Structure 1
Amino acid sequence: MRSIRRIFSVGTAALVLGAGLVAGSSGTAQAAASDCTGGANGFTDIPDSLSGRGVAGAGAVVLEFPTNVPYAIASYAMQTGTVGGRQMGWGVLTTSSSTWGPGAVGRVWMDVTNDGKNSWIQCGPFDARGGARITTAAYPTSSSASRAFRVCAQVVSPSPITGITCTPWW
């Protein structure tokens, strides 16, 4: 059983790492949650419990630890729904409580572009520990081809770090 878990985690790590390389410059170093909370840059704060319709896919991030608690597993997704009477999109991250490794932190953020993916603003990262659900702030959707969203996630700990993985642009 342990070897099946190891094969799964190595395969998942390779997938996550590959997706992170494709994601390119979507790293979290240049942005902060304050870039989109409290109404900043056209975003709207929403409760972490808000659920909507899943769009643009979803994914999972797995971090293997060398200790007796071997994994930190987080799932992420992009959702849309009505917020304050407007159609909006947001990101959500859910962390596992039963497998959460020591010191691990799950991160989620949403990238929004209004110029056809030439540039974007990053909303987040927002951090969560094991057994938590957290959302990004929400941003209005549009029928314009120049506006697009994607949700990205990562798990970090004092030692290991996963690659960044993102949904496709929607």
Structure 2
Amino acid sequence: MSISTHYRRAGVVLAAIVGIVTAMSVTSAHATETGNASPASAADCEGGRNGFVDIRDDLSGASSQHVKIGNRDVYLHLMFGTVKGDYRGWAYLTSGSYTTLSQNDSVWMDWSTDGGRTWLQCGPFYNPKQKYTITSAAKNTSSNPNYVFRAGMLTYDGKMYLTEWV
């Protein structure tokens, strides 16, 4: 076997290992969908940008999806409810016990108008005051089946969790 063939095979094995490790770092309620996301920024949805409205960090609603975060007593929810007179969706991260969330935990909500093929990420929003709950901004819902939301969370130790698209 030539040296170049040996290095090419080693490169393929390394690429496969990197792909497996990368796939293992994302945890979801079900399989994670792939697609194109806009660059993540809380500024894309704060202060009414892109039709989002700011909400309190303790605002809860009807949870349509939720994910337990590893071995912690922490839950990621995709919430829906009436906010400022309209039915809206938002991401909600909560500690199920009397401990606060880490200041390095973050939450966001992905919003798509094409069934999740592409989306705008609203967030991440962090927890600098170490509260028990944090939320994303809220976005109007629609009867169009391609208009979907999902909640996302990145833990203080770098693990990502996602709800399903709803």
Instruction: Identify whether the pair has TM-score above 0.5, normalized to the shorter chain.
Output: yes
Equivalent position amino acid for 2:69 in 1: V
Whole-Å Cα distance in 2 between the matches of residues 77 and 51 of structure 1? 9
Q: Which SS does the other structure have where 1:34 is aligned?
A: helix
Tell me the matched-pair count: 141
Q: Closer, same or farther in 2 for the Cα pair 1:76/1:26, shift >3 Å? A: farther
Higher Rg of the two aligned structures: 2
Cα offset, 1:60, TM superposition: 2.2
Alpha carbons 2:35, 2:116 under 8 Å: kept: no
User: What RMSD over aligned residues (CA atoms) do the two structures have, in Å?
Assistant: 3.0
User: Identity over the aligned pairs, expressed in percent?
Assistant: 34
Whole-Å Cα distance in 1 between the matches of residues 105 and 51 of structure 2? 25
Q: Closer, same or farther in 2 for the Cα pair 1:154/1:90, shift >3 Å? A: same
Whole-Å Cα distance in 2 between the matches of residues 98 and 28 of structure 1? 32
1:60 counterpart = 2:68: yes
Whole-Å Cα distance in 2 between the matches of residues 161 and 19 of structure 1? 14
Q: Closer, same or farther in 2 for the Cα pair 1:27/1:116, shift >3 Å? A: closer
Cα offset, 1:74, TM superposition: 2.7
Q: Closer, same or farther in 2 for the Cα pair 1:143/1:88, shift >3 Å? A: same
Equivalent position amino acid for 1:161 in 2: G
- What TM-score comes out, normalization by structure 1 length? 0.70
**Counterpart selection for 2:53 from 38, 41, 44:** 44
Whole-Å Cα distance in 2 between the matches of residues 116 and 24 of structure 1? 11
**Counterpart selection for 1:35 from 22, 35, 44:** 44
Whole-Å Cα distance in 2 between the matches of residues 141 and 148 of structure 1? 8
Q: Which residue of 1 aligns with 2:108?
A: 109
Unmatched segments (≥5 aa) in structure 2: 1-23
Equivalent position amino acid for 1:169 in 2: W
Alpha carbons 1:97, 1:131 under 8 Å: kept: no
Unmatched segments (≥5 aa) in structure 1: 1-14, 64-71
Q: Closer, same or farther in 2 for the Cα pair 1:23/1:87, shift >3 Å? A: same
Mapping for residues 144-155 of structure 1, pairs under 5 Å: 144-155=144-155
Whole-Å Cα distance in 2 between the matches of residues 31 and 38 of structure 1? 16
Whole-Å Cα distance in 2 between the matches of residues 29 and 146 of structure 1? 17
Equivalent position amino acid for 1:90 in 2: W
Cα offset, 1:48, TM superposition: 1.2
- What TM-score comes out, normalization by structure 2 length? 0.72
Q: Closer, same or farther in 2 for the Cα pair 1:97/1:116, shift >3 Å? A: same
Q: Which SS does the other structure have where 2:82 is aligned?
A: strand
Q: Report Cα offsets for 1:89-138 as digits up to 9, x if no partner.
A: 001011355486xx762111000001222211000011126542111100
Q: Closer, same or farther in 2 for the Cα pair 1:91/1:99, shift >3 Å? A: closer
Q: Which residue of 2 aligns with 1:75?
A: 75
1:166 counterpart = 2:162: yes
Alpha carbons 1:107, 1:125 under 8 Å: kept: yes
